[in-house]
Amino acid sequence: MSKEEAPAAEAAPSAEMVPRARLSEVIAERNDMRTQLEALRAEMAPMQERIDSLSAYQTKAAELEAQLGSVRALSQAGIVDEEGQAVAGLLYERVAEKPEGGLRAWLQGLADSPDSAPTPLRPYLARPAAPAPAAPAPAATAPTPTATPDTTAVAPSSGVLSTEALADARQRLARGDRSALADIKRHFSRRMG
């Protein structure tokens, strides 16, 4: 290469060279994009927190829905008090082979054969005997007793203990509520005294 050819090669732009103006423009665009990206990330942070809290709420809602389903199944099986539900829940957790229908199917199986049920659940699963036929109403109309807070559960307006009140008291006794017996005794002691 001669000395005359060297300045010509320097003067001619090569394929790798970029004009200074274009280079400045690309760098400015890149910096602008970075600024926009940082601004979008800053805007996105509160939204991400909301998304995370929404996910937590959805998880909590699913847990509560499952818990509600369990409480419904227990209530329908006649286990309405908190202690009985806790016992049934613990016993169900210990079941090695859970039925396909879950807790509801397990309780239904136990209700169908209460003698095979775990001992702590038997009082809850015992079906009350069919209520006795209603006693015929007295020929003379009895005076209507005034309702007091302690007699509203067992003293119907006719003064005779109704079949429904007896069935209710029997169910309460089956659940271990001894106040039902006291209510019936109070009703009869008022009629006799």
Cβ-count burial 64-98 (b if 16+ within 10 Å, e if not) = eeeeeebbebbeebbbeeeebbebbbebbeeeeee
User: Which pLDDT belongs to residue 150?
Assistant: 45
Q: How confident is the model over 4-43, as pLDDT tens digits? A: 555 544 555 556 787 999 899 999 999 999 999 999 999 8
Does the pLDDT of residue 3 top 60, yes or no?
Answer: no
Are residues 69 and 119 both part of a single domain? yes
- Do 118 and 154 belong together in one domain? no
Nearest to 188 by CA among 140, 155, 153: 155
Residue 1 lies in a domain: no
Task: Report if residue 109 sits inside a domain.
Answer: yes
- pLDDT over 70 at 86, yes or no: yes
Residue 44's domain comprises 34-125
Return mean pLDDT, the chain: 76
More confident call, 14 vs 81: 81
User: What is the model's pLDDT at position 100?
Assistant: 83
pLDDT in tens, 100-127: 888 888 888 888 887 878 888 777 776 6
pLDDT reading at 191 higher than 70: no
pLDDT, position 155: 46
pLDDT, position 149: 45
- Residue 152 has a pLDDT of 45
Q: Are residues 52 and 107 in the same domain?
A: yes
Are 60 and 112 contained in the same domain?
yes
Tell me the per-residue pLDDT of 136-163, one tens digit each, with 9 for 90 and over.
555 555 555 554 444 444 444 445 667 7
180 and 106 inside one domain: no
Q: Is 171 left (phi over 0), alpha (psi -120 to 50) or beta?
A: alpha
Measuring CA to CA, how many Å separate 149 from each of 22, 58, 117, 159, 179? 93, 44, 38, 15, 14
